[in-house]
Structure formats: structure tokens, C-alpha cells
A and B are shown apart, each in its own frame.
Chain A
Amino acid sequence: MKEELDVLEETVSRDYQYGFVTDIETDVVPKGLNENVIRLISQKKNEPEWMLNWRLKAYAHWLKMEEPEWANVKYPPIDFQDIIYYAAPKKKAKVNGLDEVDPELLKTFDKLGISLNEQKRLTGVAVDVVMDSVSVATSFKKQLSEVGIIFCSISEAIQNHPELVRKYLGSVVPMTDNYFAALNSAVFTDGSFCYIPKGVRCPMELSTYFRINTENSGQFERTLIVAEDESYVSYLEGCTAPKRDENQLHAAVVELFAHRKAEIKYSTVQNWFPGDENGQGGIYNFVTKRGICMGDYSKISWSQVETGSAITWKYPSVILKGDNSIGEFYSVALTNHHQQADTGTKMLHLGKNTRSRIVSKGISAGQSQNSYRGLVRAGKHALNARNYSQCDSLLLGDKCGAHTFPYIESKNKTAVIEHEATTSKIGEDQLFYCRQRGIDTEAAVALIVTGFAKEVMNQLPMEFAVEAQKLLAVSLEGSVG
């Protein structure tokens, strides 16, 4: 048993594979935050007046807010004056194809095993690469524009589709929503914008790889997806970050807007640097993700595989406003070493016959803390609302923790809300059974964890699922006690 533990320790303490820095010259605004920095960001991005005013309003609001403390995570106070709020790669020429992209950048993606070439060739995925806050490559744009889909960086959208951005920006996540959302609204530098016109089924999975690259550069992406009546889109977001000693703050906002009978499927694989085995470094990931099923019969589905970040604070939510609308949340959150994750969802049932489904799989190893926090609320008018929640935790070793905080608020007698939760441990008996069949501890843990997470993995688009599965195995190899 002792020996087994050692094997575990060893494999669990494997170094972060993606810890390298890309050598691209960057254009950096000095550290710190004040109105001038915001004006500078807006100016650098050549933004219209209304956008600047919106940012300033958010900033003024943020100044009056306090950092939330209710989550089950611990970290030293963040010095918001010690963060770089804007960094853009210098060679930011618009590109039509991969051959025009900075080769250094392409190399970075090759190292991550997500080469654009491969992505394009094998999967037909349109990739809008966000590197240090500015999109440097957009592909497949033409094919998409033929069916009227707009898929571009949010900065471009502000320039080219201001009416759409003005209409929807902040409509799902108001700038006053929470501390980090207010901060994001003030200083967001880039992100993606996606608009699917009425009746259009997006012909491919839309994908963006985010990557944090400049030391001390906070990342404040802003993503906005709007699906008009009877449209469909599947959006993939995947992340890895280079190794850093200092904590990097990441506070993104994602807004999804689904009109009548529209469906938005949003999948994330998050693999930012989690810190080393002593808990040094790593990304702070404070994200606000929310979708609104505005129209009747609309559907929003969040799927996520979270293995990275030192601290994760993230609750992709759905407001079920339209009658008969559907919200889903499928999540695998894996924590190891000293990682802390407080993640979950909110399903807010407002319309009649609205349905939601929550499947959360938490995996904790090392000395990590993994909390599920979920709110299901059925409003007064949410007749016959239905929710089913299932939260399973898997513990690897006995120094880690799994916590479940389900909140249920029902103001409606016809609503049916079901919650199930289980906690299990990878048993020695299970491991020995595997080993007796020639499957070593590492492979056995990967097998069991993959099995545990299967229900969620099945929700991911095929090519993403393969990548996510590898990620789980790499992040965990062998961690049992």
C-alpha cells in the first residue's frame, strides 16, 4: 500500500506539460487600473464613444463593489493595481489563412497538440484564435458568412456590427451582476462574437482556443453568442496557459442569448496552469457564464471539463424564461495538488413547462478541494417546471475534499425538483482487480475516472471528447490512496 501511494504521489506530481512561453513581441499597457487605462484600452481598440462610456460606467460601479467571499476557496488578496490590463501581439495583421499567421504562434499551438492545420484538415472546425486578448487568426469565415453567420472577435463586432453588440452586450450578464463581471465590463480586451441568423443551423462546430501569454496580464475575455429563432450553434472553448510563477487573474464573461426554438450548445475544456505541487503559481479563474432561453422552446446546454487553474469560481447558468425551454449543465471538474474549485450552475425557471438537467462529476485528488454549488429556482409562474440534478464525487486519496452545496428554491407547487448525490472513492479492491488483469495503477485510474465522467464526456463534440479524455488521464495519472 505504501508503495502504491508513492507511485501515486509520483504520477500525480507530474509537471505541467504546457509550461512554455511563446516569444512574440507584445504591446503592453502599463500595470494598474484607473479611468485612463480604460480610456487607453478603448482608444487602442478604436472603439466608438458608447463603448467607452459603457466601460466607464462599469468601472464606476466596480469601484463601489466588494470582492465576494462566499465561495469555498482561499487565496491571498488580489492587487488589482498589479495587473496588466492590455497586451496585444504586435504583429496583428488580419489574416486570410494559416500561412499568414506568425509562425511562433503556430508553433505554440503545435506544442499544445492542437495544431490549426490538423484542426482544419481533420475536423472542419472554424478556429478563431485568441492570443493575449486579441484575435490573430480567423478561419472559415467565408463559409460561415455565406449562410449569414457572423463569427469574429468582439472587437471586430464592435466596429462592424455595433447595433447587435449594443443590443445584446450586458443583456444576460449586466455590468452590475457581480464583482468580476463588473471588472470585465470595464476592461475586457477581446473575445468572440457569434451571431446565428433565423433558421440557420451552423454547419460546423465553432471553436476558439484561448491562451494566456504575457506575464501578469489579466485576461478579460468577453464572449457573446446570439441565436435567432430556430437556429442552432455548437461552440467550443478550449484553454491552456504557459507556466508562470505569479498568479494570473482571469475573469471572463460569456453571454448566450437564445431566441424561440433556438439551441446553443457551449462546450469548454479548461486546462490552465493549476500551480505546481506546492500550490505555487497557477491561474485564478473567476468566470461569469450565463445564458438566457428567451424564446419558447429554446435550449441552452453547457458542457465543461475543468482540469486547470489554481482557483476556479464558475457557475454557468441558464435563465429559463421562454415557456417549454430547456437548460442543461454537464460538468467534470477535476482538482489535484492544491487546486480549489467552487463550481456549479444555476437553473432559474421562469417560464412554464421549463426543464433543466444538471450532471456534475467532481474528481478530487492530492490535497485539493472540489465544491459543487448549484441553485435551482422555480419562480411563481414556472408551472410544471422540472429539474433533475445529479452530483457525483470521486475521491482519490484521503487528503482531498469534495463538497456539495445544493440550493433549491421553489415558489411553485407544481414544480418537481430532484437532487441526487453520491460520493465514492477509488477502492483498493478495484485497483487490485485491474492490476490482476494486467492494467497498472495509472491506467486503472484513468479507466475508472473516464468511466466516472462518461455521462458528461458523451455530451462533448467528438473531437473535443478525445482531447478531454486525454486531459483527464494526464491530469490524474495514478492518483489513489
Chain B
Amino acid sequence: MLSIKDLRASVEGKEILKGINLDVNAGEVHAIMGPNGSGKSTLASVLAGREEYEVTGGSVDFLGKDILELSPEDRAREGLFLAFQYPVEIPGVSTTNFIKTAVNEKRKYHGQPPLDAVSFMKLMKEKMNLVEIDKSLLTRSINEGFSGGEKKKNEIFQMAMLEPKLTILDETDSGLDIDALRIVANGVNKLRDENRAIIVITHYQRLLDYLQPDFVHVLLNGKIVKSGTKELALELEEKGYDFIKDEFSLSEAV
């Protein structure tokens, strides 16, 4: 589904991604971990097409398309969804209106007519139950004054509404209380199927306990330096990143 080859990107002349290689197949869940500032969010942004990051090398194939050639909106319409680490507030635009616009823009791209009000409301109700989101949030301006947890839930709600092929969750677990974490994780699990894939960026084991990733990768200084199964996450939790750093600098030295 997604194939990243030697991806390099920089911002303001500074190289942040230094040759990322990653293959994600349909049905898989991949976790990306790594210390602060290692480039996790940058990778997510580059995949989503944020223009302030300059891609300086490599390629990204998504469902047979070179997505680096596509605009951010077309990447989204092709089925790429990024749950933001810091969701943005847009005063005056209600969550419902925002999502309705997003859903219909995607439908338009795929040559489908816009959803009528009734079908849209039906879809909303169904997905609201899935992520147990409070109804009152939907009439408020999107993300404006939402608590940290509410913002994250709202991201998952949008994911549910847009039914993306590939979802990137950027620290969706941070800021969530124990119940909210469970709800969000269950929501994500319910949206999993053999046609969809998920990349989870996280610092903590808690979310991975729920999601049971197929693979865990460690991103360090703009490179994936170690990949393994979910046991790798447990090892990291126990030992911290130092052992990888040591291992890595050792191998670099060789």
C-alpha cells in the first residue's frame, strides 16, 4: 500500500529526514517510536504534503501512485489521513460543517454526488457511537476551546467519517485520560480491516497494548534505525532509547 524509499526532507535548509525506508501493506499496523525531535511528525507531514518541508530525495508510492506529485488535498482524497499531533482550531466553522465539506469534497473527487442531509446525519450518528464523541462538540467551531482529549477524539471521529485507506496517528494517545485512551483505541480497532493500514506514532506502550501493532520501528535522527515486532516496544519501554543509540552509533562506527 505504502512504499517509502530513501526519503529525504529538509526544512529551512536543515535536513530532518535522512533516508527513510518503510513498507506498509494493507491490513497492517506499524508503530513508529523515537525520541523527541527525531523526525516522526516531520515524516507524517511530508507524507501528507506539507509544503514547508522540502523533499530532497527518495520516493513515496501510495496505492500505485507517486504521491509526492499530488497536492495535499488529493493525497487526502486518495485515502491518506493524518490525525494531527496538534489539531488546528478554526473559529466559526462548525465541526459538522467542516466534516461535511471534507466528505463531499472526497466524494466529488471520486465522481460521486454529495451526500444528502439525511444520509450524512445517519453516517454521523453511526460514527459518533463508534468513538463515543459528545454531540455538543459537533455544533461547536472545530477544535476551538476543545480540551486536549476532545481534540484527539475529534480526529478519530473524522477518520471514522472519511474511512481512509492509510491513517497516520501522530501521538493521538498523548493528552488522553485512561478512559478516553480506551475509547479512542477501540475506535481505531473497529476501523481496522484487511484493506486499511495504520501508522501509529507514539511514545507509550499503553496505546500499543490496545492496538497490537504488527511492526515497531525506531526513528532516530531522521532514520529508521531498528525495526521489529511488538516486543521491541516493550524492550524500549524497559530500557529507553539509549540502548538503541549505543547500538546504532556502534554500527555507524563500523
Contacts and interface: CB of A to CB of B under 8 A. Distances in A.
Interface residues of B, number: 33
Contacts of B48: 432, 436
B101 A443 contact: yes
Interface in A403-449: 424, 427-430, 432-441, 443, 447-448
B52 interface: yes
A3 interface: yes
B160 to A, nearest CB: 13
A1 B105 contact: no
A432 B72 contact: yes
A437 B79 CA distance: 10
A427 B143 CA distance: 15
Contact of B106 (A4, A432, A438): A438
Contact of B98 (A4, A427, A437, A452): A437
B71 A435 contact: yes
A454 to B, nearest CB: 5
Contacts of B52: 1, 428
A427 B88 CA distance: 10
Contacts of B99: 437
B82 interface: yes
A448 B93 contact: yes
A438 B162 contact: yes
Contacts of A450: 92-93
B23 interface: no
Contacts of B91: 424, 451-452
B84 interface: yes
Contact of B73 (A430, A440, A451, A453): A440
Contacts of B75: 436
Interface residues of A, number: 26
B67 to A, nearest CB: 13
A3 B54 CA distance: 13
Q: Looking at chain A's contact residues, is the secondary structure mostly helix, strand, loop, or mixed? A: helix
A272 B101 CA distance: 29
Given A3-B51, A447-B97, A447-B98, A435 B92 contact: no
Contacts of A428: 52
Contacts of B87: 433
Contact of A438 (B51, B84, B92, B105): B105
Contact of B51 (A1, A424, A434): A1
B93 A435 contact: no
B158 interface: yes
Given A1-B51, A440-B73, A447-B97, A433 B90 contact: yes
Given A433-B84, A443-B101, A447-B98, A438 B77 contact: yes
A447 B88 CA distance: 14
Interface string B80-111: 01101001111111100111011001100100
B41 interface: no
A440 B49 CA distance: 13
Interface in B138-169: 141, 158, 162
Interface in B41-69: 48-52
Contact of A447 (B72, B82, B101): B101
A439 B84 CA distance: 16
B90 A438 contact: no
B105 A451 contact: no
B158 A451 contact: no
Contacts of A443: 101, 105
A429 B75 CA distance: 17
B199 interface: no
Contact of B92 (A433, A436, A452): A452
A435 B80 CA distance: 11
B93 A438 contact: no
B231 to A, nearest CB: 33
Given A437-B102, A443-B101, A448 B90 contact: yes
A4 B101 contact: no
Given A433-B88, A447-B97, A439 B51 contact: no
A77 B102 CA distance: 49
A424 B49 CA distance: 25
A468 to B, nearest CB: 15
Contacts of A433: 84, 87-88, 90
Contacts of B84: 433, 436
A6 to B, nearest CB: 12
Given A429-B88, A430-B90, A448-B90, A439 B101 contact: yes
A316 B99 CA distance: 37
Contacts of A434: 90, 98, 102
A270 B145 CA distance: 34
Nearest to A446: B101
A429 B86 CA distance: 10
Contacts of B76: 435-438
A426 to B, nearest CB: 9
B222 to A, nearest CB: 21
Contacts of A436: 48-49, 72-73, 75-76, 81-82, 84
Interface string A172-213: 000000000000000000000000000000000000000000
A453 B162 CA distance: 27
A451 B141 contact: yes
A4 B51 contact: yes
B92 A437 contact: no
B76 to A, nearest CB: 4
A182 B108 CA distance: 54
Contact of A432 (B50, B92, B162): B50
A433 B45 CA distance: 11
Contacts of A448: 90, 92-93
A4 B71 CA distance: 10
Contacts of B71: 435, 440
Contacts of A430: 88-90
Given A424-B91, A438-B106, A448-B92, 12 more contacts: A429-B88, A430-B88, A435-B76, A436-B81, A437-B162, A438-B77, A440-B71, A440-B73, A448-B93, A451-B94, A451-B97, A454-B92
Interface of A: 1, 3-4, 424, 427-430, 432-441, 443, 447-448, 450-454
Interface of B: 48-52, 71-73, 75-77, 81-82, 84, 87-94, 97-99, 101-102, 105-106, 109, 141, 158, 162
The 8 closest A-B pairs by CB, nearest first: A451-B92, A451-B93, A437-B102, A438-B76, A433-B88, A435-B72, A440-B73, A438-B105
